[in-house]
């Protein structure tokens, strides 16, 4: 088997997506290792998950830096020092700065709880419920300088019912998030993902 892919994970909160990646690695489904968890939130439950799995964790807060550039340059430096090859945004609730994107072009993946380009930004699930769509879902995409605008890697759809609340829809979408995020990382680790303009091509998956 080839060398495991080195990941750096950024998370702001609960970290259930972070956990799904840990679980995929531990079960052998994903040939990767997590070099570091970085959070902007000292109260993030993701920190406890990292401790439990002996993953190094850093709390890096924007308020300790003069500006966004300095903040993301510092994060990029910490990731670089640890040999991180792919950056994973697992519920990282900030718009990532240029300094990090330029260091990791098409090497930062984000999970978003809606079918992009619908309902970008915060509260994708609530936006879907409020709009009254019948189908929503989640998207794994590469990160560019826009808000949830980068090339789409994988999407999964779920039904939206008339009596759904933000909570019930979030739960249904989350189950799919936990499936497709590790899957997208696995495809990347296997060298099967390439990007042409806005399009992501997955080798060995139909019509290529
Ligand atoms: C997930 O639903 C993720 O899609 C969403 O935050 C949640 C984090 O949950 N991300 C965004 O809304 C990004 N704009 P988790 O901390 O349990 O993984």
Q: Is the CB of 8 under 6 A from ligand 1?
A: no
Q: What is the CATH number of the domain that holds 8?
A: 3.40.50.170
Closest residue (by CA) to atom 8 of ligand 1? 91
Residue 55 and residue 11 share a domain:
yes
Residue 203 and residue 119 share a domain:
yes
Residue 125 and residue 100 share a domain:
no
Distance from Cα 91 to the centre of ligand 1, integer Å:
4
Which of 82, 104, 126 terminates a domain? The answer is 104
Task: State the residue range of the domain holding 173.
Answer: 111-141+150-208
Q: Is the CB of 16 under 6 A from ligand 1?
A: yes
| pLDDT > 50? residue 108 | yes
Residue 38 and residue 124 share a domain:
no
Task: For residue 207, name the pLDDT band (cuts at 50, 70, 90).
Answer: low
**How many structural domains compose the chain?**
2
pLDDT of residue 2: 86
Residue 187 and residue 121 share a domain:
yes
Task: For residue 182, name the pLDDT band (cuts at 50, 70, 90).
Answer: very high
| pLDDT > 80? residue 208 | no
Residue 119 and residue 80 share a domain:
no
Residue 182 and residue 130 share a domain:
yes
Parallel, antiparallel or unpaired: strands 108-112 and 135-142: antiparallel
Mean pLDDT of 115-136: 98
Q: How many CB atoms lie within 10 A of CB 162?
A: 7
Residue 89 and residue 7 share a domain:
yes
Residue 118 and residue 76 share a domain:
no
pLDDT of residue 58: 98
Residue 95 and residue 120 share a domain:
no
CB 180, CB 138: distance < 8 Å? yes
Q: Is the CB of 178 under 6 A from ligand 1?
A: no
pLDDT digits (tens, 9 = 90+) for 129-167: 999 999 999 999 999 999 999 999 999 999 999 999 999
Residue 162 and residue 78 share a domain:
no
pLDDT digits (tens, 9 = 90+) for 78-98: 999 999 999 999 999 999 999
Residue 47 and residue 27 share a domain:
yes
Closest residue (by CA) to atom 3 of ligand 1? 91
| pLDDT > 60? residue 14 | yes
Distance from Cα 90 to the centre of ligand 1, integer Å:
6
| pLDDT > 50? residue 35 | yes
Closest residue (by CA) to atom 5 of ligand 1? 91
């Amino acid at each position: 088997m080839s060398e495991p892919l080195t990941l750096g994970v950024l998370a702001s909160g609960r970290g259930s997506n972070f956990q799904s990646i840990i679980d995929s690695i531990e079960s052998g489904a994903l040939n990767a290792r997590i070099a570091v968890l970085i959070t902007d939130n000292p109260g993030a439950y993701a920190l406890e998950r990292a401790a439990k799995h002996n993953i190094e964790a850093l709390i890096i807060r924007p308020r300790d830096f003069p500006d966004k550039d300095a903040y993301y340059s510092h994060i990029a430096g910490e990731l670089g020092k640890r040999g991180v090859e792919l950056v994973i945004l697992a519920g990282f609730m900030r718009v990532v700065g240029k300094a990090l994107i330029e260091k990791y072009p098409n090497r930062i993946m984000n999970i978003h709880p809606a079918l992009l380009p619908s309902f970008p930004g915060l509260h994708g699930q609530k936006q879907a419920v409020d709009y009254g769509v019948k189908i929503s879902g989640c998207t794994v995409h590469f990160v560019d300088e826009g808000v949830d605008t980068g090339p789409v890697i994988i999407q999964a759809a779920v039904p939206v019912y008339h009596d759904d609340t933000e909570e019930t829809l979030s739960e249904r979408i989350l189950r799919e998030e936990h499936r497709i995020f590790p899957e997208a990382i696995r495809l990347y680790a296997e060298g099967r993902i390439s990007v042409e303009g806005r399009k992501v091509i997955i080798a060995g998956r139909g019509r290529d």
